[in-house]
Amino acid sequence: MAHDDSAKTSSSKLVIRNIGLLLSGDLASPILDADTIVAVDGRITAVGREKDVDTTQATMTVDAKRTTVAPGLIDSHVHPVCGDWTPRQNQLGWIDSYMNGGVTTMVSAGEVHTPGRPKDVVGLKAMAIFAQRAFHAYRPGGVKIYAGAPVIEHGMVEDDFKELAAAGVTILGEVGLGSVKDGKTARQMVRWARKYGIQSTIHTGGPSIPGSSLIDKDMVLETDADVIGHVNGGHTALPDEQITELCARSTRALEIVHNGNERAALLALRTAMELKQMDRVILGTDSPAGSGVQPLGILRLISLLSSLGNIPGEQAFCLATGNTAKIRRLDCGLIAPGREASFVFMDKAQHSAGKNLLDSIQKGDLPGIGMVIIDGAVSAHRSRNTPPATVAPEVVK
């Protein structure tokens, strides 16, 4: 479903009422004492009890029917290529499918699956600028895709990063997927990128596919990228002692991915908890990949980390929303005035053994999605991909 920009000329007011459980996305207070959200022109303007907020003159009212509302999920690690197509498994419509898994924002870790990907400096810059522009303009299912993530190659100089930043590039693709495999060069380029406001991510662990290579903890620490990409491997993880050392010695973000080693994911989570640095943990799928397209990948990670990692469900959601938004400097991911009005409505899946949504997640089940809203507009009603929600919200006006 494409969003219709022509409809945005007059002011819109969305009221979501009768919320049973409101998840904030913020680890400091993951559950809000509120049952109503008001959003004007795609931005949250008020959160509170229905009697305390102005719900008049709404252009759309959603009755949440006492279900759970959370910020739209953020996938911190995707590999888009062009439009809603991935050549990795030659699938169409994957981004729209992820939206049906609650994802409203994606961050590219490099458009590395592009057939014939240019590796010369002018070519890689052109491709990054193209991807940034194309995904800014084209949003399958309404999903916001921050793409245009060049992979660093030997021969790049400081002016290249300055030029990329001036052209609108804000992120680097995974360091290590190009010809730069040494910490010294990578560190220099990451610093140039940072100087011009471009955020960096490094591939961590064994090679993902033939052609990529091992990045060990020494290379990760020396490069000092902003995000330690797939700290649990993508898919091959580093030895346990290297993972715990990365958590302890670096202060950078710890990204856990669906298409990584699940045991290593639990180790990284446990180590971050012991360090009292859960705010560094963010979630991605690292997909499309050799293991396919995973529309429910972020939900599956939330359920895995909550049920086997023993963290409350409401905290697990923060890793995929507020944490990622803060680290990626995005204005979504939190239920708070001024933030993007993107939401996922969930209920426990039909016939789950859980008592309620959070209990079902803590027991390892996936939630059922009843609605997805992006920028104040409905992108999906009942998800076509999750198990059916016991109760689904309804647009009442």
The residues of the shown chain that bind Zn ion, judged by CB under 5 A, are 174, 203, 234
DSSP at 86: E
Nearer Cβ to Zn ion (65/203): 203
Supply the minimum distance, in Å, between the C-beta of residue 241 and Zn ion. Answer: 21
DSSP at 9: G
Residue 109 token pair: 């870790």
Supply the minimum distance, in Å, between the C-beta of residue 92 and Zn ion. Answer: 24
Supply the minimum distance, in Å, between the C-beta of residue 195 and Zn ion. Answer: 24
| Burial class of residue 21, CB neighbours in 10 A (0-12, 13-18, 19+) | buried
Nearer Cβ to Zn ion (109/371): 109
Supply the minimum distance, in Å, between the C-beta of residue 262 and Zn ion. Answer: 16
Nearer Cβ to Zn ion (32/327): 327
Nearer Cβ to Zn ion (289/372): 289
Backbone torsions φ then ψ of 274, nearest 5 degrees:
-65, -35
Among all residues, whose Cβ is closest to Zn ion?
Answer: 203
Under 8 Å between Cβ of 153 and 129: no
Nearer Cβ to Zn ion (197/290): 290
Q: Which residues of 255-282 are buried (b: 16+ CB within 10 A; e: fewer)?
A: bbbbbbbbebbbbbbebbbeeeebbbbb
CA 8, 12, 18, 21 dihedral sign is positive
Q: How far apart are CA 182 and CA 103, in angstroms?
A: 34
Supply the minimum distance, in Å, between the C-beta of residue 142 and Zn ion. Answer: 27
Q: Which residues of 194-213 are buried (b: 16+ CB within 10 A; e: fewer)?
A: bebebbbbbbbbbbbeeebe
Nearer Cβ to Zn ion (231/346): 231
Supply the minimum distance, in Å, between the C-beta of residue 186 and Zn ion. Answer: 14
Supply the minimum distance, in Å, between the C-beta of residue 109 and Zn ion. Answer: 7
Q: What are the distances in angstroms from CA 334 to CA 69, 264, 295, 346?
A: 11, 28, 22, 16
Nearer Cβ to Zn ion (175/374): 175
Residues 6+ apart with CB under 8 A from 10: none
